[in-house]
Amino acid sequence: MSGSEALVSAARRAREHARARYSGFKVGAALELPDGTIITGCNIENATYGLTLCAERVALVKALSEGHTSFVRIAVVADTDAPTPPCGPCRQLLWEYCGDLEIVMANLEATTASHRLGELLPMPFDDRLLR
């Protein structure tokens, strides 16, 4: 199994733990570290929706809270035909903590797309603008 296939497989498994009782839209994510370690996350919904945590942010926060600071790519899996990219807030956080990493999108059957984060967030707001 290639690195990308292993990453997507981990995201599919993470998706099984999603708590999406309101929308039914389950998402899994798997964030790869330079040494090949994979940290996963799933979406966790809340009745207010505003407190919902996306799978990508769950994986990122888990990794950061464990002291990891360098990332290679992230896989995002949803049960859709079209590629499901990270939402705007996820893109912003991924940019700030991961830089221009590779985003691999997949559904339950196959990989559907792969893009650099810079393609999905072409004019990011980051610390350069705070100086």
Active site residues: 56
Tell me how far the alpha carbon of residue 9 is from its chain's centroid.
Answer: 13
* Alpha carbon distances (Å) from 19 to 5, 120, 130: 24, 26, 36
CA angle 27, 59, 128 (to 5 degrees): 115
Cα–Cα distance measured from residue 64 to residue 53, given in angstroms and rounded to the nearest whole number? 15
Cα–Cα distance measured from residue 100 to residue 35, given in angstroms and rounded to the nearest whole number? 18
